[in-house]
């Protein structure tokens, strides 16, 4: 091991090609992962933050929050269903927001809510007051500002910040039910809902009840006019999300595979070049295991160094990439990339094992 | 007890249907602290004999006994341990690890054996001092002359306090004066440590450093030239 590390220290140029290749792959993995996380979180934050384990939509809405309608009578049936502890109405309208001193409008999703989502205070008392998602700061939104929503410029005042509450990549604004209704009335008078009607219900399940069973009970109680699903199912059913995730994951897995290939080819060539040295090591008493441990330790160190350099580059990239691009570098993603790189480097270096085992110590003397 | 005994050793290689006899019923004994020179033309079987004596190759027939242990039927793993603990090699092309200093090249052997590092470092320093390389121990092989590199290789061969040192063409890459210096150093080390040594050489002038000379031709051992 010490010999392998000494070589890395004294001959860095020899390992530079693999280091640079893996560093760039790390950058790619972190940026791709960051974009995937950013897109996912930006699309799903509002649903993930819901306090209830279940979400109830109208059965004809095909799990679309925008299309769904739940009237007051249905909501009352839901509340009475076995296993239901609490029910809260939820409404949303997607609008453009005029931000003071900004030429471009920010895209926002204004929610009216009865039960406070995770990290969001109780509904504001005053109609027209909203909590804004922190991501809107990238669009110039400031605390205390008045944003003008929709074509008829319905005014809402930002009274606080909340995090990770965006919906379909639109900045989350959270007001009381009346604020939401007024905004809909102002922007889309044709889409105004009857009093007591919401787009969906967030349903808190009684302790000890099984959410899937409660969901079935709700839909039975409403005579099939509702479609109740778990929060995670609702999140996964958002349009395009699954395809987005599959595409990104395919690229990420391919990149990991390329990383393994880079390490495999690099160390295969290096092992070929070192056949005489390994023969000498074997002649003086090194086992194949000891030699392979050297190859392995070099592969792991290169993977870790590449990750560190790639992570620095990725962090630097966040300063260059416009804030509107939904790039989120998370610790979980970084851990996944570093573990993935190490695993792929180990897998790649295993290709050299056969060659190491086959090195004939007698060739040192021949 | 002899340091090395070869008893009717044969080594046969197969190439298709053809059988190539590299060593043909070779028998020899090397006493403790004896220096044996082995001479012969290229392809005569010198290297095969040296490889079998050092546990780098297994014989097809016959027995190989080193310091009382019959290594003829050792499995590869046991042969690896045997080479690590009982034999020292000086290779023809020196084969130092290019990115390690002279001192570290000696310590490679200790590291493989997981020996006490302090003790190993002390031994490496002592060997390098004896070989006149005390001031060069921090130098990489590329910073050393051919003779110095050869001396480092000699030091490496003695690091594990071997029962037997096997030396392959130690002077082939050196001019006569340097070759003689290196040979003298090898002999001094062998004598000082009372270790047995087998030296393979083309250069008949070097045989005068040996206690005994054997000649090998087509895999058959003969008494050496007078």
Which chain A residues are within 8 Å of B113, Cβ to Cβ? 285
Judge if A39 and A91 occupy the same domain: no
Nearest to B91 by CA among B51, B126, B131, B63: B51
Residue A67, token pair as written in the block: 């299309």
- For residue A233, what are the contacts with CB-CB under 8 A and spacing of at least 6? none
How many distinct structural domains can be found in chain B? 1
User: Could you tell me if residue B207 is inside a domain?
Assistant: yes
* pTM (global) more than 0.90: no
Q: In this structure, are residues B49 and B6 in contact, taking their beta carbons and an 8 Å threshold?
A: yes
The answer to whether residues A100 and A32 belong to one domain is no
What are the Cα distances from residue A187, in Å, to A95, A183, B159?
8, 6, 88
CA distances from B102 to A231, B97, B154 (A): 67, 9, 11
Residue of B91, B115, B124, B163 to mutate, interface with A, max A Cβ within 10 Å: B91
Quick one: A136 and A258 in the same domain? no
Task: Say whether both A90 and A199 belong to one domain.
Answer: yes
- Domain end point (choices A180, A213, A236): A236
Closest residue in A to B87 (Cα–Cα): A284
> Rg for chain B (alpha carbons), in Å?
17
List of E strands, A150-213: 154-162, 171-175, 200-205
| A125 C-beta neighbours (distance < 10 Å), count | 8
Task: Say yes or no: A50 and A198 in one domain.
Answer: yes
Residue by residue, pLDDT tens for chain A (366 residues) are 788 999 999 999 999 999 999 999 999 999 999 999 999 999 999 999 999 999 999 999 999 998 999 999 999 999 999 999 999 999 999 999 999 999 999 999 999 999 999 999 999 999 999 999 999 998 999 999 999 999 999 999 999 999 999 999 999 999 999 999 999 999 998 888 999 999 999 999 999 999 999 999 999 999 999 999 999 999 999 988 889 999 999 999 999 999 999 999 999 998 888 899 999 999 999 999 999 999 999 999 999 999 999 999 999 998 898 877 889 999 999 999 999 999 999 999 988 898 899 999 988 876
Q: Which of A135, A130, A156, A112 is nearest to A39 (CA)?
A: A135
Domain span holding position B134: 32-57+86-223
Residue A65 sits in the same domain as residue A171: yes
Tokens of A320: 């260059």
Please tell me whether residues A60 and A77 are part of one structural domain: yes
In angstroms, the Cα distances linking B52 to B71, B91, B101 are 9, 15, 30
**A141 and A230: one domain?**
yes
Q: How far is B97 from chain A (nearest CA, A)?
A: 7
Tell me, yes or no, whether A54 and A168 share the same domain.
Answer: yes
- Shortest distance, CA B57 to any CA of chain A (angstroms): 7
> Would you call A92 helix, strand, or coil by DSSP?
strand
Q: Looking at the domain assignment, is residue B9 inside a domain? A: no
Read off the CATH number of the domain in which B164 is found: 3.40.50.300
3-state secondary structure of B46: helix
Looking at the structure, tell me whether residues A259 and A226 fall in a common domain.
no
- Residues of chain A that touch chain B, judged by Cβ-Cβ distance less than 8 Å: 2-3, 6-7, 10-11, 276-277, 280-287, 290, 361-362, 364-366
Other Cβ atoms within 10 Å of A34 Cβ, number: 23
For residue A141, the enclosing domain spans 46-236
CA distance A329 to B110: 46
Answer whether A365 sits within 8 Å of B111, measured CB to CB: no
Residue B99 at interface with chain A, using a CB cutoff of 8 Å:
yes
Assigned domain for B67 exists: no
Same domain (yes/no): A260, A358: yes
Nearest CA in chain B to A9: B99
pLDDT in tens, B44-70: 899 899 999 999 999 999 999 998 899
Choose the final residue of a domain: A236, A256, A287: A236
Handedness of CA B118, B123, B128, B134 (dihedral sign): positive
Distance CA A341, CA A359 (A): 28
Q: Is residue B20 part of a domain?
A: no
Q: State whether residue A125 is helix, strand or coil.
A: coil
ipTM: 0.90
A194 and A63 in a common domain? yes
| Candidate from A10, A284, A366 with C-beta closest to B89 | A284
User: Which residue among A236, A258, A273 closes a domain?
Assistant: A236
């Amino acid at each position: 091991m010490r010999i392998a590390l000494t070589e890395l220290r004294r001959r860095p140029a020899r390992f530079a090609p693999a280091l640079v290749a893996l560093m760039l792959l790390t950058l790619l993995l972190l940026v791709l992962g960051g974009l995937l996380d950013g897109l996912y979180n930006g699309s799903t934050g509002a649903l993930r933050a819901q306090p209830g384990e279940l979400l109830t939509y109208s059965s004809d809405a095909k799990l679309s929050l925008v299309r769904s309608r739940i009237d007051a009578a249905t909501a009352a049936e839901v509340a009475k269903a076995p296993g239901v502890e609490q029910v809260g109405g939820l409404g949303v309208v997607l609008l453009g927001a005029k931000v003071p001193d900004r030429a471009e409008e920010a895209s926002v999703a204004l929610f009216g809510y009865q039960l406070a989502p995770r990290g969001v205070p109780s509904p504001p008392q005053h109609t027209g007051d909203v909590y804004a998602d922190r991501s809107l700061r990238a669009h110039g939104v400031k605390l205390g500002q008045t944003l003008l929503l929709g074509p008829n410029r319905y005014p809402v005042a930002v009274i606080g910040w909340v995090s990770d509450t965006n919906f379909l990549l639109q900045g989350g604004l959270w007001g009381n039910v009346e604020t939401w209704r007024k905004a809909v009335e102002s922007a889309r008078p044709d889409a105004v809902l009857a009093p007591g009607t919401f787009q969906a219900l967030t349903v808190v399940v009684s302790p000890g009840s099984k959410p899937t069973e409660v969901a079935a009970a709700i839909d039975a109680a409403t005579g099939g006019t509702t479609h109740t699903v778990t929060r995670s199912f609702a999140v996964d059913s958002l349009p395009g999300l699954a395809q987005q995730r599959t595409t990104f994951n395919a690229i990420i897995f391919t990149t990991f595979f390329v990383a393994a290939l880079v390490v495999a080819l690099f160390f295969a060539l290096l092992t070929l070049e070192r056949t005489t040295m390994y023969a000498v090591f074997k002649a003086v008493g090194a086992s194949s295991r000891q030699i392979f441990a050297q190859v392995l330790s070099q592969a792991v160190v290169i993977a870790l160094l590449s990750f560190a350099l790639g992570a620095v580059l990725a962090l630097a990239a966040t300063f260059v990439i416009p804030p509107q691009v939904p790039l989120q570098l998370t610790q979980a993603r970084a851990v996944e990339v570093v573990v993935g790189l190490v695993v792929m480097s180990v897998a790649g270096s295993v290709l050299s094992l056969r060659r190491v085992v086959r090195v004939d110590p007698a060739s040192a003397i021949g | 007890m002899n340091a090395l005994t070869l008893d009717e050793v044969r080594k046969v290689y197969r190439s298709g249907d053809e059988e190539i006899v590299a060593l043909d019923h070779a028998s020899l004994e090397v006493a403790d602290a004896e220096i044996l020179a082995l001479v012969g033309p290229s392809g005569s079987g010198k290297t095969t004999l040296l490889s079998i004596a050092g546990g780098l190759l297994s014989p097809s027939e016959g027995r190989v006994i080193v310091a009382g242990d019959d290594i003829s039927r050792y499995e590869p793993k046991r042969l690896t341990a045997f080479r690590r603990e009982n034999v020292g090699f000086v290779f023809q092309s020196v084969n130092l690890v290019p990115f390690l200093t002279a001192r570290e090249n000696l310590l490679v052997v200790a590291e493989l054996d997981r020996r006490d590092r302090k003790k190993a470092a002390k031994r490496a320093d002592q060997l390098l001092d004896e070989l006149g390389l005390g001031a060069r121990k921090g130098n990489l092989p590329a910073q050393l002359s051919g003779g110095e590199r050869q001396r480092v290789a000699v030091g490496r061969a003695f690091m594990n306090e071997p029962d037997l040192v096997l030396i392959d063409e130690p002077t082939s890459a050196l001019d006569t004066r340097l070759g003689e210096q290196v040979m003298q150093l090898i002999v001094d080390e062998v004598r000082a440590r009372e270790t047995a040594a087998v030296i393979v050489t083309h250069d008949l002038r070097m045989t005068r450093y040996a206690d005994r000379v054997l000649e090998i031709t087509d895999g058959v051992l003969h008494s050496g030239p007078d």
